[in-house]
Amino acid sequence: MPADANVFDSHLDAWDAYLATPWAHARYDVVSHVLDETLARLGPAPLRVVDLGGGDGLDSVRLAAAGHEVTIVDQAPGMLSRARASAARVGCSSRLRIVESDLPGWRPDQQYDVALCHFVLHYLEPVGEHRVWRLLREALRPGGAASVICPNPVSEVLRAVHRDGDPDLAFRRFHGEPVRTPTFDREVRQLHRSAAERSAGDAGLDVTRRVGLRVAVDLLPEGAAKHDDNNYPDILRLELALAERQPYLDIARAWQLLLR
């Protein structure tokens, strides 16, 4: 993660605003669906899960509530406090372990069945990114599964045209201009899925599944219908239908790789 944990803790209000949006709901619901299928194939609870850069635990506290043993590794104390509070609220604090550490400085203290690394790698410099790929491999037991998610640079180009109406910005994004995240107001690298797959292979991980997150919801025009909770079941049904179908997954707002 970035050297300054305040990058995240100082923007918690913006994070809360993001979590209230339909595109955040779609992101978490599709990922939950994919993770549940992945864990079901690995065996019954309790499985050992490590969430690298897991922050407030929105991906992994749910797994602790389902009976799994979860470790969150993150350096943002404000986010980690939220993870502890979420675990207490759903009664799974005994199955949640918090490790306050930056990722390059962390070493696995056991082997895990599942390793998560969601929306982390694009914040890191290439050296740090490569270290995290190795961490994923080191942390997993033989036959274990990893889930990695990052924003999709293809979507950044399309958004510059569709949302911003700026073909010059789209051209610059096409050529790799860094992106500034609206939630945490930080410049991040563009990381293409193809490059991530090569790095995963170099670390000894094999891709087993490719998923596109937020294919449809980001293309819906702004308006009341997009934010109407009554429309969300149809949005989610469409997201799940498109998430693993090409060419739709290739233009999604984010890519997810499942690895063994």
Task: Say how many domains are in the chain.
Answer: 1
Residue 119 lies in a domain: yes
Peptide bond into 2 cis (omega under 30): no
The answer to whether the beta carbons of residues 18 and 24 sit under 8 Å apart is yes
Give residue 55's identity as a one-letter amino acid code: G
- Digit-coded pLDDT (tens) for 144-156: 999 999 999 999 9
d(CA 107, CA 14): 31
CA distance 146 to 258: 6
pLDDT per residue over 236-248, tens digit each?
A: 999 999 999 999 9
pLDDT in tens, 16-69: 999 999 999 999 999 999 999 999 999 999 999 999 999 999 999 999 999 999
pTM of the model: 0.94
Of the pLDDT bands very low, low, confident and very high (cuts 50, 70, 90), residue 13 is very high
pLDDT tens, position by position, 108-140: 999 999 999 999 999 999 999 999 999 999 999
Whole-number Cα distances in Å, 101 to 10, 75, 213: 18, 5, 28
Specify if 1 maps to a domain. Answer: no
CA distances from 19 to 105, 140, 183, 194 (A): 29, 30, 10, 28
Helix (H, G, I), strand (E, B) or coil at 98: strand
Residue 41 lies inside a defined structural domain of this protein: yes
Residue 54 lies in a domain: yes
Rounded distance between C-alpha atoms, residue 238 and residue 221, angstroms: 15
What CATH number is associated with residue 202?
Answer: 3.40.50.150
Residue 214 lies in a domain: yes
- Can you give the residue range of the structural domain that contains 102? 6-259
